Chain A
């Protein structure tokens, strides 16, 4: 069974600080990694994807991938109250059918 773990509890960060979220996955064959943001009562929204080791930056968001250690992380720089949401890590787990394995999510609360 493909597993994606997001273990840390709710994360509270002051406005302007960096929020750091981590995700580990079990299948070494995983090739694509996605971060979704989900506001309360809304649907998941894609914010980043990464498939090569290293960093990928998009605005205030940076995704980091380390395939050897089987983890992917998301950094949110200059956190804003509008970043308060649940962040879902998703992994294309090599099913060959575009299926994604999702973590349960991490809640981020940005404190003004």
Chain B
């Protein structure tokens, strides 16, 4: 039971570069989410997806792009990385609508932008 996996686990890049963080889940969950976690801010939602080809903005979407061509994958792309995007990024997934649907998190990607 692989669950939800993120890659890479660690990434260092330079400002202005494009970087893509990968997220893959094996549960066939409908919903997938991208968060960033920074000291003092807690978890902030970047983008989420209710199903393949359906995505929507969260609290802090600027500078990020997502796609979801297949249910199991939800990559997050930083088109032109900035130092302020240095953070820990978590992907999560949950089953379809229902009031007791918790989100399950991947192990995270620690991204440093120099």
Contact residues of A with B, CB < 8 Å?
31-32, 34, 42-46, 49, 51, 88, 90, 92, 96-100, 102-105
Query: Can you sample 19 A-B contacts with CB below 8 Å?
Result: A32-B99, A34-B102, A34-B103, A42-B108, A43-B90, A43-B106, A43-B107, A44-B43, A44-B105, A46-B103, A49-B102, A97-B31, A98-B94, A98-B96, A99-B48, A99-B58, A102-B42, A102-B43, A103-B42
B44 CB to closest chain A CB (Å) equals 8
A29 CB to closest chain B CB (Å) equals 11
**Which residue of the partner chain B has the closest CB to A4?**
B42
Given the known interface contacts A88-B42, A104-B42, the answer about A97 and B50 at a Cβ–Cβ threshold of 8 Å is yes
**Which residue of the partner chain B has the closest CB to A6?**
B42
How many residues does chain B have at the interface if contact means C-beta atoms less than 8 Å apart? Answer: 26
> Is B45 close to A, CB under 8 A?
yes
Other A-B pairs, 18, CB within 8 Å; known A34-B103, A98-B97 = A32-B101, A42-B107, A43-B90, A46-B104, A51-B100, A88-B42, A88-B43, A90-B103, A96-B97, A97-B48, A98-B31, A98-B48, A98-B50, A98-B96, A99-B33, A99-B48, A99-B58, A104-B41
